[in-house]
């Protein structure tokens, strides 16, 4: 339930005595306090890839600075096009440039690409299989600004669009590898962007991004966590905590949501006796969880149990990101307790 606008904060109510909360939507990092990070991996990588690929141009809708595209703009000022705060135009213009042989990388927020520009991506870009790369910040629950900025259903919407490849990277290491791979793949791609100081996680695991491939990051006998995006970071942290409590958790990272690596997912889920948990930074409806569930059912694969960690089918609240991740079940602690609870069922 969302809070009522007619109820004042608890500490201001008569005889409240509750502590005054100081956390706010300004706390919006997904990185833990001591976690290593890298600044603007998308912007730096795209600028470097563009050195070798003259077809690449960058377009944004008044959000270059907030999607790390300003790094590209600084490196290649004549290849950057400002389309104004007009996401429909952003997609149409990208389509026109792609028709003329360029490879436009367009950036905005995921809410605006999915909700506002859908028809333009669908008809002007995807239907024509044009080589446009759509890179969007604030995917799922990565801002405390409330539903206007929280793209909790972007993957559900975009999964329904034919021809579109969907990538949900986990960290800076993966973004650095995904950008050249996406540039090398002809056709429309939607990538969820982690921006600013982005956590560095997967380098420890010797991970290499391969478009269309799910990768097992760690193995485990008791449960298999299938995850994408920042939830892979949570899953890895959760697996370490579970290990301390004697629970052996495997983590299968699925950065390519579409086309889905069904073969790897099915092979992992066929291993007997494991609880399968799909964890995603997205509404429970229409994302990786339901994609995996349908894949299993179509192939008659029945794991010991199947559960989802995902955002509820609700418009979410505003607030500090750690508060919200805890409230909606995306924090490491909530992932650990959910899995323990299911294993005890």
Which span (78-86, 146-154, 205-213, 299-307) binds other proteins, by CB under 8 A? 78-86
d(CA 153, CA 284): 9
Residue 32 binds other proteins (CB under 8 A): no
Contacting residues for 126 by C-beta, under 8 A, at least 6 apart: 161, 162, 163, 164, 188
Q: How far is the CB of 109 from other proteins (least distance, A)?
A: 17
d(CA 94, CA 55): 12
Residue 10 binds other proteins (CB under 8 A): no
Contacting residues for 135 by C-beta, under 8 A, at least 6 apart: 42, 67, 69, 105, 106, 107, 191, 193
Cβ atoms 301, 247 nearer than 8 A: no
**DSSP H/E element including 118:** helix 118-119
Q: Which one, of 2, 30, 36, lies nearest residue 332 by Cα?
A: 30
Residue 213 DSSP SS3:
coil
Which span (84-92, 158-166, 251-259, 292-300) binds other proteins, by CB under 8 A? 84-92
Which span (25-33, 83-91, 262-270, 312-320) binds other proteins, by CB under 8 A? 83-91
Strands, DSSP E only, in 228-299? 249-253, 256-258, 275-283
Q: Closer to other proteins by CB, 93 or 214: give it.
A: 93
Q: How far is the CB of 60 from other proteins (least distance, A)?
A: 13
Q: How far is the CB of 119 from other proteins (least distance, A)?
A: 5
Cβ atoms 231, 279 nearer than 8 A: yes
Residue 160 binds other proteins (CB under 8 A): no
Contacting other proteins within 41-60 (CB under 8 A) = 57
Q: How far is the CB of 101 from other proteins (least distance, A)?
A: 7
Residue 120 binds other proteins (CB under 8 A): yes
Which span (94-102, 191-199, 205-213, 247-255) binds other proteins, by CB under 8 A? 94-102
Q: Could you list the residues that contact other proteins (CB under 8 A)?
A: 57, 81, 83-84, 86, 88-89, 91-102, 104, 119-120, 123-124, 127-128
């Amino acid at each position: 339930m969302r809070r009522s606008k007619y109820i004042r904060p608890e500490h201001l109510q008569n005889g409240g005595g509750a502590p005054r909360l100081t956390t706010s939507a300004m706390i919006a990092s997904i990185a833990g306090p001591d976690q290593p990070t890298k600044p603007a991996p998308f912007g730096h990588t795209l600028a470097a890839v563009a050195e070798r690929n003259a077809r690449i141009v960058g377009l944004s809708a008044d959000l270059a600075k907030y999607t790390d595209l300003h790094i590209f703009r600084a490196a290649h000022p004549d290849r950057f096009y400002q389309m104004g705060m007009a996401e429909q135009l952003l997609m149409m213009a990208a389509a026109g440039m792609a028709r003329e042989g360029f490879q436009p990388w367009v950036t905005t927020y995921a809410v605006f690409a999915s909700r506002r520009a859908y028809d333009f991506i669908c008809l002007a870009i995807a239907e024509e299989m044009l080589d446009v790369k759509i890179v969007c910040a604030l995917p799922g629950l990565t801002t405390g600004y409330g539903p206007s900025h929280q793209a909790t259903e972007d993957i559900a919407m975009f999964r329904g669009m034919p021809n579109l490849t969907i990538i949900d990277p986990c960290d800076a290491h993966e973004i650095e590898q995904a950008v050249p791979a996406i540039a090398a793949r002809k056709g429309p791609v939607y990538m969820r962007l982690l921006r600013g100081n982005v956590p560095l996680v997967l380098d420890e695991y010797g991970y290499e991004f391969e478009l269309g491939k799910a990768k097992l990051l760690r193995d485990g006998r008791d449960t298999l966590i299938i995850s994408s995006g920042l939830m892979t970071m949570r899953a890895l942290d959760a697996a370490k905590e579970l290990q301390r409590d004697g629970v052996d958790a495997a983590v299968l990272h699925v950065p390519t949501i579409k086309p889905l690596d069904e073969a790897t997912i099915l092979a992992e889920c066929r291993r007997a006796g494991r609880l399968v948990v799909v964890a995603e930074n997205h509404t429970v409806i229409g994302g990786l969880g339901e994609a995996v569930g349908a894949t299993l059912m179509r192939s008659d694969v029945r794991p010991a149990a199947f559960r989802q960690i995902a955002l509820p089918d609700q418009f979410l609240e505003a607030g500090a990101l750690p508060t919200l991740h805890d409230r909606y079940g995306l924090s490491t602690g909530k992932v650990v307790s959910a899995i323990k609870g299911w294993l005890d069922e």
